[in-house]
Amino acid sequence: MSEALTPPVLADPVALTRALVDIESVSGDEETIADAVASALRSAGHLTVDRYRHNVMARTELGRAQRVVLAGHLDTVPVADNLPARVADGVIHGCGTSDMKSGVALALQLAMTVPAPRYDVTYLFYEAEEVESERNGLFLVSQAHPEWLAADFAMLLEPTYGLVEAGCQGTLRAMVTTRGVRAHSARSWRGENAIHAAGEVLARLGDYQPRRVTIDGCEFREGLNAVRINGGVAGNVIPDECRVEVNYRFAPDQSVAAASDHVREVFDGFEVTVVDAAPGALPGLTAAPAVEFLRAVGSPPNAKLGWTDVARFAELGIPALNFGPGDPNLAHARDERVEIAKISEGASVLRRWLAGEETAS
């Protein structure tokens, strides 16, 4: 077992958060933390443990009627002079504290200390969530070991500040291209300015009225926005091409195909190329484990305004939600931090749900 993840540390979600933060694990460099997590899990006799690359899976085999997945990514964004972790005024500061080593700590502590949960549980700790999709550990596991993900319900321990965030938005990026005719700027009447033509694209965005969609009591707010613009040849040339990159965040009642059609409709008459898209996830709050979890939390869910890996579970037909102690507004920040009280509260909620106990230790 890793020296940092000793039995006393593994029993305390706060101490465990700090220990995990101190294991640097920027995307692509997760081997050390995956080794530590795997070693700890293998020391627990009630778990079956397996590993693929830097993705670690542990599961109970109790013959329960239902199985749930608790998943969290091990990687962080690059360190910004914010390691090692430090504690001050009831807060742990450091890279990954919010996103999402405090959530990983909750799952790992449960795995080590709840040998007989009410459901069979699969704990999945995975690599490379913070980088391109094809490197994402959850995606890689779904291709190489889809049986690891088989479940009736899944929970992603992303930062939600202790609230339940159900489902997630879909996301789509598209390039809207305007064309013109290149000419010398001293004789601009001989050309057609593609950048000027982009004004109509921006005008349509300015007039756009995004939908608000309520699903299972959760309100998803859509948005269609320009995020980048690129055009121009030289300081004395009328440009013949301009590209406006737009990002559409859409409610999970739409498919990627429907979202793509909508963007093309908004920009009818322009050249539109979808360059990247990912579907959203419906809230999935009717699954029996989700109902029990909401009872343990004691407060209604919110819609997840953003995209998370719950969508990967949704594509597999597994209802999923987001829940974690970190504040999403602090994710990736130089002053990233997590409140110790939120860690303790989250651990208590999860233990009530899985073990029927009122305290976190």
43-76 pLDDT, tens digit per residue, is 999 999 999 999 999 999 999 999 999 999 999 9
Please say whether the beta carbons of 104 and 125 come within 8 A: yes
Helices marked H in the chain — which ranges? Answer: 7-10, 13-21, 31-42, 102-113, 137-144, 194-207, 256-266, 288-297, 310-315, 340-355
Closest listed residue to residue 338, CA positions, set 94, 150, 61, 163: 94
Which tens digits make up the pLDDT trace of 262-278? Answer: 999 999 999 999 999 99
Domain-wise residue ranges, the chain: 7-167+282-355, 170-278
Report the alpha-carbon distance of residue 57 to residue 270 in Å, rounded.
Answer: 47
Residues 304, 305, 310, 315, CA torsion sign? positive
For 98-131, how does the pLDDT look when each residue is reduced to its tens digit (9 = 90+)? Answer: 999 999 999 999 999 999 999 999 999 999 999 9
**Which two three-digit tokens encode residue 296?**
């343990």
Q: What whole-number distance in Å separates Cα of residue 157 and Cα of residue 104? A: 7
Would you call 61 exposed, middle or buried from its count of C-beta atoms within 10 A (0-12, 13-18, 19+)?
A: exposed
Identity at 64, one-letter amino acid code: R
Q: What rounded mean pLDDT belongs to the chain?
A: 95
**Greater confidence, 284 or 265?**
265
C-alpha–C-alpha distance, residues 342 and 14, integer Å: 10
- pLDDT of residue 246 exceeding 60, the answer is yes
The residues annotated as belonging to the active site are 75, 129
How high is the pLDDT of residue 361? 38
Q: Which CATH number fits domain 170-278: 3.30.70.360, 1.10.10.60, 3.90.1150.10, 3.40.50.9100?
A: 3.30.70.360
For residues 117 and 114, give the distance between their C-alpha atoms in angstroms, rounded to a whole number. Answer: 6
- Between strands 337-339 and 153-156, the pairing is unpaired
**Phi and psi torsions of 122, nearest 5°:** -110, 120
CATH superfamily of 7-167+282-355: Zn peptidases (3.40.630.10)
| Tens digits of residue pLDDT in 179-229 | 999 999 999 999 999 999 999 999 999 999 999 999 999 999 999 999 999
Q: Based on C-alpha coordinates, what's the Rg of the chain? A: 23
Spatial distance between the Cα atoms of 73 and 265, rounded to a whole number of angstroms: 37
Residue 134, Cα to own-chain centre: how many angstroms? 15
Strand-pairing partners, residue 302, are: 165
Per-residue model confidence (pLDDT) at position 133: 87
Same fold, 7-167+282-355 and 170-278: no
CA dihedral sign, ordered 34, 353, 130, 282: positive
Q: Which residue has the tokens 């593609």?
A: 194
169-187: average pLDDT:
97
pLDDT of amino acid 1: 55
DSSP 256: H
User: Is 359's pLDDT higher than 50?
Assistant: no
Please tell me the distance from the alpha carbon of residue 322 to that of residue 303, in angstroms, as a whole number.
10
Burial class (CB in 10 A: 0-12, 13-18, 19+), 128: buried
Of the candidates 167, 125, 151, the residue with the CA atom closest to the CA atom of residue 68 = 151
Q: Tell me the one-letter amino acid at 156.
A: L
